[in-house]
Amino acid sequence: MLITLEGIDGSGKTTVWEALSASGTLPEDAVFTREPSETWYGKNVRRSLADPDADTFAELFLFTADHADHLSRVVRPALAEGKVVVSDRYSDSRYAYQAASLAGELERPMEYIKGVHAPFTRPPDATVYLDVPAEVGAGRAGATDKLERREYLERVHANYERLIEAEPERFVRVDATQSPEAVLASVEDALEYVLEG
């Protein structure tokens, strides 16, 4: 089973992901992974994020290349072995974030990005969406790169809402404005429900 953690910057995804890896909530052989990855593909994604003048299409395809490599090296092999995979960010991040970046460049950016991914991606079985307002996420994230500004995160948040509306059965929404302990407890409850089918 492929479980993904999604949400805007500052929603606490990485904190939850790290806590889950140590909590024993999931099977002992569960694979914890993330995007951007730690490979050279992911490192180039991070270089692009640090460049305010990076081309938005080039950035999309850097993210997409990292996703393809992540699938072939980590996700598909682990799933083939029957393991639970938990990914901190996955394809929905691309649909939400890069669609916001390309909003002025394409008429239907999310549909375009989904079309690029469709031939090769592996959809998640369940997605935990950590929901915070854009102003909260921006405040927590500290706006250290161009994707963490409040105005941008408002567009990203709206894109996540579109994704949830399109596939409500896949997403579990968690109120991430709660305390970190309460958020983790909510996520653990959601995962227990998901794993029990």
Binding positions for ATP? 7-14
- Binding residues, by number, are 7-14
Classify residue 28 by burial, with Cβ atoms within 10 Å: 0-12, 13-18, 19+: exposed
Strand partners, 33: 87
- The alpha carbon dihedral of 1, 38, 88, 101 has a sign of negative
Beta strands (DSSP E) in 52-194 are: 85-88, 126-131, 171-175
Single out the residue of 161, 163, 171, 164 nearest to residue 194, CA to CA.
171
- Output DSSP code: residue 6: E
- DSSP for residue 132: -
